[in-house]
Amino acid sequence: MPPQANVPLPTGYQLDEYRIERQLSLGGFSIVYLAFDKEDTPVAIKEYLPNSLALRSTGDALPSIAEENVATFRYGMKCFFEEGRALAKISHPNVVRVLNFFRANETVYMVMHYERGRTLQEHIQKHKGEIRESFIRTIFARLLNGLREVHTHKLLHLDIKPSNIYLRNDGQPVLIDFGAARQTLSTDTPLLKPMYTPGFAAPEQYNSIRRELLGPWTDIYSIGASMYACMAAAAPQAADQRIERDQLVPAVRRWQDKYSRQLLETVDWCMHLNYLERPQSVFALQKALADKDRIVPRQTLLGHLRKKVKAFIK
Amino acid sequence: MKFTIYQESRPGKRPTNEDRIAYCYSRDALLMVVADGMGGHLHGEVAAQIAVQYITESFQREAKPDLKDPFLFLSGAINNAHHAILDYAADRFLPDAPRTTCVACIVQDSIAYWAHAGDSRLYAIRGGRILAQTRDHSRVARMVEDGLISAEDATRHPARNRIFSCLGGTNAPQIDFSKKTPLMTGDVVLLCSDGVWGPLPADVIPRAMSTGNVLQASPALLNQAEARGGENADNLSIIAIRWEDSYAEDTLGSVSTKTMPIDSFTTQMEAFAKARKGAQPLPNLSDEDIERAIQEINAAIKKFSK
Ligand SMILES: Nc1ncnc2c1ncn2[C@@H]1O[C@H](COP(=O)(O)OP(=O)(O)O)[C@@H](O)[C@H]1O
Ligand SMILES: [Mg+2]
C-alpha cells in the first residue's frame, strides 16, 4: 500500500509565533506552508513529516507515529537538522535563507525567507521550447554562485532540478529544497530513503551503497540536466536508464542550430555518466561557461576504466 | 646481505583488515609484498591473501639463492597470482572475482627491483628525499599530475581509491616496473597501502624516514596516519627496510643473511583477526539531543545572518 498523504495544518492555525496562511506544497518528506510572523512578514515554513512514518489526519495537529517507527522518525529528524545546520551558515542571495528552527507538534519546523516568484519548472512550462541562450546563461551563472557557496560548506544539494530552482521576481534564481541533503541517511533506513527525481539525479545517486561517490560532480550532473530541460522543455532520460541504454541525444547534436556550440558542449560535459568525466567543481564549470572560446575537453579516459565504472554502477 | 626490516598491518577503524603483507628472504635475495584487498568487491582479503601467498611461494621456489631475472620473476609471479585469484573465484562460482592491489619488491646484489598494480606504493628514500616512487594506477592521481585537481582535493576525492589496474579484475593487471635501483647504506625502501599514504601530506613519509631508523619511524608513521584517518581510518600496512653496508659492524635489530644456508628461507606473514562487526543499530535521538540541535541551528542562523 503506498503511504497516504498527510493532511496539512489548517489556515489560521497558530504555529509557535507564526500564523499559517496556506499550504504551498506537499511532498513525501515534508509540507511547506506560507505563514506570517508577528510583524506580518510572510515566511515559508517547512514541516518535517515523512508520510511513510508519520500520518496526520484531518482535525489533528499531532501526527500519529507507530511505535516501531519512532526511532526511524527521530533519526530522520536528525537529517532534517543537518539540512538546517548547513543552511544556517549560508547567507547567499542565490540560496534560500533559513530564519528560524523550532519544535512543535512532536516534530520540527524550518522557517525560511518567503520568496516571491515561480519555480524554473513553471517557467519552462510557460515558455516551452522558447527559452533563450542568454536566459539560460544568466540564470545558471547566478545559480552556480549559490551552489559554489553550498559546496564550500561541504554540503551537497543532491536534488537540483527545475522545480527546486526558484526564480525570484527580480530575476535572481534561488536554490531551494535542501531536503535531499539528507545525505547522512544510511541505507539501513529504507523508510527514509531519499527519493531522487528521475531525469535529474546523477547515476551515482542510484547506487545508494556507495555514498562516498557523491561529490560536487553529482550536483553538476543535475545542473546539466536542468539546462538540458530548459532546452527540451522536458526532463532528460533518467540516468539509470541511460546506463542500461543511453538514448539521450547529446545537446550538441540536438540543438546545434539553436544554441551556441560552447553552451551545448558544456551541458553534455555536465551530463557524462562517468562522474570523473564531468567538471569536478562548480568553479571549473563556471570557468567553462564564462570562457566562450573554450573547447570542452574530449574524452581522455581509457575505455578500460569507463567499462569498469559502468559495470560498477550496475 | 644486511638490512633492518619492520612490518606491521592494522585494521584502522574498519571492521576487517583486508590488507596482507609479507616479506621473505634467502641468503642472497629479499622479497617484500603488500596487497590491499578491495573492499567494494567480495572477499577483498581473500584476493590479497592469495596474492601474497602466491608470490612468496614463487619466490621460495625460484630464489635459489638468488633470482635469475628479478623483473621476469615479478612479472610472472604477479600475473600468475592474478590468475590464481580468477581460478579461486571460478572454482567457487563467485559472480565476481575478488580484487586486490599489489606492490612487490626484490632486493638482490644491493639492487632494488619492484613492480606494482594499483595504488599500494613503494618509496625509495635516501637522506629523507624520495629517490623513486611508484605511480598509482588511479585516475585521481593522474588528474593531480596533470594539474586538473590539487593534491589537497585528491585527498578528499571519492574516486581516490578507484584504480584502473588490479589483480583479480576482468582485465589482466597493468603492471608497472621500476628501474634497477642500486641501494646505498642507509637507504630506506618502504612499501605501504593507501591507508598509510592517503591521510598523510606528501612530504611526511620521506621526512619520517630521514633518520633511517625504520624500527621507530614505521610505527610512528602508522600512528600518525591512523590518527589523521580519523573515524574512518582505512586498513594500514607498512613494510620498511633500511639497507645496511654489508661490511659494517652489526647494527642492532638488523638481519644478516651471510650465515644462512643457501636453500633456506625466512618468511614473515602477518596474521589477522577476521572479526566482522554486525549491523549497527540506529543511534537514538533523545529529547535533549533535539533541543540541543535546535539551539545550535538557531545560534548559527543568528551568527551568519547579515
Ligand atoms: N522559501 C520559499 N519561498 C517560496 N516558496 C517556497 C519556498 N520554499 C519552498 N517553496 C515552495 O514549496 C515547494 C516545495 O518546497 P521544497 O522545499 O521543494 O519541498 P519538497 O521537499 O516538498 O519538494 C517549492 O516548489 C516552492 O513552490
Ligand atoms: Mg522540491
In a domain, B272, yes or no: no
Task: Choose one of A113, A148, A181: the last residue of a domain.
Answer: A113
CA of A176 to the centre of ligand 1 (A): 7
CB contact at 8 A, A11 and A20: yes
What are the strands of the beta sheet with B121-126, ordered from one edge? Answer: B129-133, B121-126, B188-192, B236-243, B2-10, B255-256
Q: What is the pLDDT of residues B159-182, one digit of tens each?
A: 887 889 999 988 899 999 999 999
> What are the tens digits of pLDDT across the range A117-175?
999 999 998 998 899 999 999 999 999 999 999 988 878 888 899 999 999 999 899 99
A2 contacts: CB under 8 Å, gap ≥ 6: none
pLDDT in tens, A15-72: 999 999 999 988 777 899 999 999 999 999 999 998 878 888 888 889 988 888 888 8
Reduce the secondary structure of chain B to three states and give it as a string.
CEEEEEEEEECCCCCCCCEEEEEEECCCEEEEEEEEECCCCCCHHHHHHHHHHHHHHHHHHHCCCCCCCHHHHHHHHHHHHHHHHHHHHHHCCCCCCCCECEEEEEEECCEEEEEEECCCEEEEEECCEEEEECCCCCHHHHHHHCCCCCHHHHHHCHHHHCCCCCECCCCCCCCEECCCEECCCCCEEEEECHHHHCCCCCCHHHHHCCCCCHHHHHHHHHHHHHHHHHHHCCCEEEEEEEECCCCCCCCCCCEECCCCCCCCCEEEECCCCCCCCCCCCCCCCCHHHHHHHHHHHHHHHHHHCC
What pLDDT sits at residue A314?
Answer: 32
A2 lies in a domain?
no
Asked if the structure places residue A60 within a domain, the reply is: yes
The atom number, within ligand 1, closest to the CA of A177 reads 17
Question: Under an 8 A CB cutoff, do A214 and B158 touch?
Answer: yes
**Residue A31 CA, ligand 1 centroid: distance in Å:** 9
Alpha carbon distance, N-terminus to C-terminus of chain A: 28
Burial class (CB in 10 A: 0-12, 13-18, 19+), A257: exposed
**A208 and A106 in a common domain:** no
Largest CA distance in chain B: 78
Whether residue B138 lies inside any domain: the answer is yes
CB contact under 8 A, A98 and B158: no
Contact assessment for residue A269 and residue A288, using Cβ atoms and an 8 Å cutoff: yes
- Name residues of chain B where pLDDT drops below 70: 39-42, 245-254, 258-265, 268-283, 306
Distance (Å, whole) CA B203 – CA B151: 12
Phi, psi of B56 (to 5 degrees): -65, -40
Q: For residue A155, what is its C-alpha cell?
A: 554540503
Point out the ligand nearest to the CA of residue A32.
1
The residue among A85, A113, A141 that closes a domain is: A113
Domain range for A174 is: 117-313
Do A275 and A196 lie in one domain? The reply is yes
Residues of B in contact with A75 (CB under 8 A): 282-283, 285
Q: Tell me, yes or no, whether B268 lies in a domain.
A: no
Residue of chain A minimizing CA distance to B154? A280
B170 contacts in chain A (CB < 8 Å)? 307-308, 311
Please report which ligand is nearest the Cα atom of A87: 1
Q: Whose CA is nearest to atom 2 of ligand 1?
A: A114
Residue A5 placed within a domain:
no
E strand segments, chain A: 14-15, 18-26, 30-36, 42-48, 54-55, 64-65, 98-104, 107-113, 117-119, 165-168, 173-175
B199-233 per-position pLDDT tens digit: 999 899 999 999 888 988 999 999 999 999 998 89
Contact check, Cβ <8 Å, A88/B297: yes
Distance CA B134, CA B124 (A): 9
Decide if B267 is inside a domain. Answer: no
Task: Retrieve residue B152's grid coordinates.
Answer: 589537497
Closest Cβ–Cβ partner in A78, A90, A308 for B285: A78
A91 and B306 within 8 Å at the Cβ level: the answer is yes
Same domain, A104 and A129: no
Is B277 part of a structural domain of the chain?
Answer: no
pLDDT of residue B249: 47
Provide the angle, in degrees to the nearest 10, between the axes of the packed helices A261-270 and A282-290.
170
* C-alpha cell belonging to residue B279: 549491523
**Residue A8 domain-assigned?**
no
Q: Three-class SS of residue A236?
A: coil
CA A3 – ligand 2 centroid, Å: 18
Averaged pLDDT score across all residues of chain B: 85
Size of the A and B interface in Cβ pairs below 8 Å? 83
Q: Is residue A13 less than 8 Å (CB to CB) from chain B?
A: no
Q: Contact, B52 vs B20, CB < 8 A?
A: yes
- Residue A6 in any domain: the answer is no
- Nearest residue on chain A to B286, alpha-carbon basis: A74
CA-based nearest residue to B100, from B92, B89, B90, B91: B89
Chain B within 8 Å of A135 (Cβ-Cβ)?
A: no
Interior angle at CA A158, CA A152 and CA A162, nearest 5:
110
Q: What range does the domain containing B143 cover?
A: 3-248
- Claim to verify: residue A277 and residue A165 sit in the same structural domain: yes
**Could you tell me if B134 and B122 are in contact, meaning their C-beta atoms sit under 8 angstroms apart?**
yes
Q: Do A222 and A299 fall within a single domain?
A: yes
The pLDDT, as a whole number, for residue A197 is 66
Residue B41 CB contacts under 8 Å (≥ 6 apart), including other chains: B47, B96, B97, B98, B99, B168
Backbone angles phi, psi at B236, to 5 degrees: -125, 130
| pLDDT-based confidence at residue A184 (cuts at 50, 70, 90) | very low
Whether A58 and A126 map to the same domain: the answer is no
Is there a domain that residue B241 lies in?
yes
pLDDT computed for residue A134 by the predictor: 93
- Max Cα-Cα span within chain A: 62
Read off the pTM.
0.57
CA A275-A279-A281 angle, 5° bins = 105
Write down the H helix ranges in A153-278. Answer: 216-232, 239-244, 251-254, 261-270
Examine residue A3 and state whether it is found in any structural domain, yes or no.
no
Q: Which of A73, A96, A113 is the last residue of a domain?
A: A113
Q: Which of B143, B146, B161, B285 to mutate to test the interface with A (most CBs of A within 10 A)?
A: B285
Domain count within chain A: 2
Position A299 scores a pLDDT of 43
Domain shared by A53 and A133, yes or no? no
A309 to chain B: nearest residue by CA? B162
Closest approach of B103 to chain A, Cα-based (Å): 20
Q: Give the per-residue pLDDT at B120.
A: 96
Residue A38's CATH number? 3.30.200.20
A88:B290 CB<8 A: no
Which amino acid is located at A71 in the chain?
Answer: A
Give a yes or no: residue A163 inside a domain: yes
Note whether A170 and A234 are same-domain residues: yes
Query: Is residue A242 pLDDT above 50, yes or no?
Result: yes
Q: Which of A133, A63, A97 is nearest to A289 (CA)?
A: A133
How far is residue A305 from each of residues A237, A243, B36, B39, B146, measured CA to CA in Å? 23, 15, 19, 18, 18
Does the distance separating the beta carbons of B284 and A81 come in below 8 Å?
no
Domain count, chain B: 1
Inter-chain CB proximity A81 and B149 less than 8 Å: no
Predicted confidence at residue A68, as pLDDT, reads 80
Q: How far apart are CA A14 and CA B264, in angstroms?
A: 86
Same domain, yes or no, for A188 and A285? yes
The residue count of chain B comes to: 306
Closest CA to B218 of B8, B33, B3, B23: B8
Query: Within this chain, do residues A156 and A301 fall inside the same structural domain, yes or no?
Result: yes
ipTM: 0.78
DSSP string, A80-119: HHHHHHHHHT---TTBPPEEEEEEETTEEEEEEEPPPEEE
Residues 219-278 of B with CB under 8 A from A: none
Report CA B132 to chain centroid distance, whole Å: 16
Q: How far is CA B123 from the centre of its chain?
A: 11
Tell me what pLDDT residue B14 has.
87
A165, three cell numbers: 530552482
Q: Which residue of A has its CA nearest to B287?
A: A74
In the predicted model, what is the mean pLDDT of chain A? 84
Nearest Cα residue to B122 out of B25, B210, B193, B226: B193
Residues A28 and A122 in one domain: no
Tell whether B118 is covered by a domain: yes
Asked whether residue B270 is assigned to any structural domain, the reply reads no
Q: Answer whether residue A268 is part of any domain.
A: yes
For residue A141, the domain's CATH number is 1.10.510.10
Angle at CA of residue B51, ends B46 and B55, nearest 5°: 150
Looking at the structure, do residues A39 and A156 belong to the same domain, yes or no?
Answer: no
Q: What is the pLDDT of residue B135?
A: 94
CATH of the domain at B66: 3.60.40.10
pLDDT at position B92 is 77
Chain A residues touching residue B40 (CB < 8 angstroms)? 210, 312
- Mean pLDDT throughout A220-241? 94
Residue B53: partners with Cβ closer than 8 Å, 6 or more residues away = B22, B269
As a whole-number percent, the residues of chain A with pLDDT over 70 amount to 83
